[in-house]
Structure 1
Amino acid sequence: MLDELTVVLFRPKYPENIGSAARACLNMGVSRLVVVDPYNFNMEKALPLATAHARHILETARIVDTLAEAVEGCTAVFGTTARTGGWRKGIMSPETLAGVVDERLRGGGRVAIVFGPEDKGLTNEETSICSGLMTIPTSREGTSLNLAQAVVVVLYECFKRSLAGPFVPDGPPEERAATIPEQEALFANLQQSLLAIDFLKDDNPDYWMLPVRRFFSKVNLKRNEFNLLMGVCRQVQWFVERYGPKK
């Protein structure tokens, strides 16, 4: 969904930041990177920060002379700024910007997000080309973010908004719930173990097990948890048999 989103780095000063920005683009599903009039660009310094995975984004990035060239063909351009106030009104948060970008992209548009130089940011003249401005909220003690950090924060919000549903991380399939026979086997083993350490009274252990059963009734016990508790019971019983008082 972010195929038509372009990241524009305007006059970046450090090639390492360009490499890190390329990596951020890869992480968040953006393949279009344009660099405008970079200062002392050095591919050998940028590549290690891009890593081998984002090398193709860095090597295919367009390098142009002007901002107008960078955003040519785009239907909307949004600028980033750390400065607020004055004529810079209606500045969006990254989350709000992501919603606007998502709407434009789903409508068939092509969108560019422009990040200014590390030391000065975008000037008023440069932001005049923008359809809107965005700032990343920070603490008062440090209002300036590293260029690549800013890129990944903004693209993260755009990536989240582009998903068809809530993000669910990949992982192993969820363990099935323990069956009733397995739960009964566990209760029997627990009762034997608790008797062995004198936690339950010998006169009516089934009665004294009722609170334990009620506790487990509140838990959706999984098979791996069942295995864990059965292992604990076996270890308790082994320890009592070996080191407990001789009867």
Structure 2
Amino acid sequence: MKAKAESGKREQASVATQPAAPAVILVRPQLGENIGFAARAMANFGLTDLRLVAPRDGWPNDKAHVAAAGAAFLVDQARVYQSVELAIGELNFVLAATARPRELVKTVLSPESAARELRERGVRAERTGVLFGPERSGLDNDTIALADAIITAPVNPDFASLSLPQAVLLFGYEWLKGESASPPLGRVTGFDGPVTEGIAFPGTRPATRAELFGLFEHLEAKLDQAGFLYPAQKRPSMVRNIRNMFHRMGASEQDIRTWRGIIASLARARQGRGGKVS
């Protein structure tokens, strides 16, 4: 019972320190499809608070629902406001996404720095949000003036304009990336578990040094028999190069067994030809 109580306390502490995700506020979005694509990007990266300010084609919008695909639930629960002031009224800290500071004196943050800032504020129980402008013109000066800081991505200066869904996806990626030092990659399933960087070893494991040394001994013995490691003065460097090839490949235990089977099969075939090399 005591262990369960301690476990419950740890879980409550973990929940308490999880930062609240920022709201994504689309200001006067023009196309329903872009709203849906933005919702899908939000769902990819764990953002769930979608707010719309005066969508041009009204709301609800069937095209947004279709474009969202599996994230249609975000479209269904999106909140609609008539003004930016109403949409951000209860937030404590707001960022404005724009490629142009427009001569306003504002702190400028990269998407990575912005995500870090919002996480820190979320841990302090502050409510935060990010403003994204309409597709044609982006956020105007009056809207940017309502924000605490600007978020701007490093892009090609000759073509700096991002589409609305792209901008949301870029920010969402940085938000989720900040969740841990090494966040899981790709889809997590009950069969595979989370994907991580590096070589995956499904159904096997990395080879041990002893298994590699056994392969080297086997291979080098057969190469000596075949006369490959010749002349004698070059044998040490040839052996080092061959071993280095196997070290670079990051072999699995299954790889080692496969290679040893290949060597044994080739040796048997050579013996069947009376040791002659074709």
TM-score with structure 1 setting the length:
0.83
1:73-84 equivalences under 5 Å are 73-84=90-101
Find 1:191's aligned residue among 220, 228, 244.
Answer: 220
For 2:239, the equivalent position in structure 1 comes to 212
Partner of 1:101: 118
Secondary structure (helix, strand or coil) at the match of 2:26 reads strand
For residue 165 of structure 1, what is the amino acid of its counterpart? A
Deviation at residue 138 of structure 1 after TM alignment: 1.3
Percent same amino acid among aligned pairs?
A: 28
Please report how far the alpha carbon of residue 216 of structure 1 lies from its aligned counterpart in structure 2 after TM superposition.
3.8
Q: 1:148 to 1:235 in 2, by over 3 A?
A: farther
Moved more, 111-120 or 165-174: 165-174
What is the CA distance between 1:155 and its match in structure 2?
1.6
Over residues 120-178 of structure 1, what are the superposed CA-to-partner deviations in whole Å (9 max), with x where a residue is unaligned?
111111112111111122112211111000001112112222x1432243245671432
SS of residue in 2 equivalent to 1:158: helix
Gap runs ≥5 in structure 1: none
Residue of structure 2 equivalent to 1:28:
45
2:253 counterpart residue number: 223
Aligned length: 242
Change beyond 3 A, Cα 1:188–1:142: same
CA separation of 1:26/1:233 partners in 2, compared to 1, >3 Å: closer, same or farther? same
The 2-side partners of 1:214 and 1:242 are apart by: 29
Choose from 72, 75, 85 the match for 1:55. Answer: 72
| Distance 1:2-1:12 versus aligned 2 partners, 3 A rule | farther
Rate the CA distance shift 1:184–1:83 in 2: closer, same or farther, 3 A: closer
Taking the TM superposition and a 5 Å limit, the aligned residue runs for 1:32-181 are 32-41=49-58, 43-52=61-70, 54-161=71-178, 163-169=179-185, 170-171=194-195, 175-178=205-208, 180=210
For the 8 Å contact 1:2–1:30, the answer to whether it is kept is no
Higher relative contact order (CA 8 A, sep 6+): 1
Letter in 2 for 1:156: Y
The separation in 2 between residues aligned to 1:234 and 1:58, in whole angstroms, is 61
- The residue type paired with residue 262 of structure 2 is V
Could you list the per-position Cα deviations for residues 96-126 of structure 1 after superposition, in whole angstroms to 9, with x for gaps in the alignment?
2112111111111010100000111111111
Where has structure 1 moved over 6 Å in runs of 4 or more? none
Q: In 1, are the aligned partners of 2:229 and 2:238 still within 8 Å (CA)? A: no
| 5+ long unaligned stretches in structure 2 | 1-17, 186-193
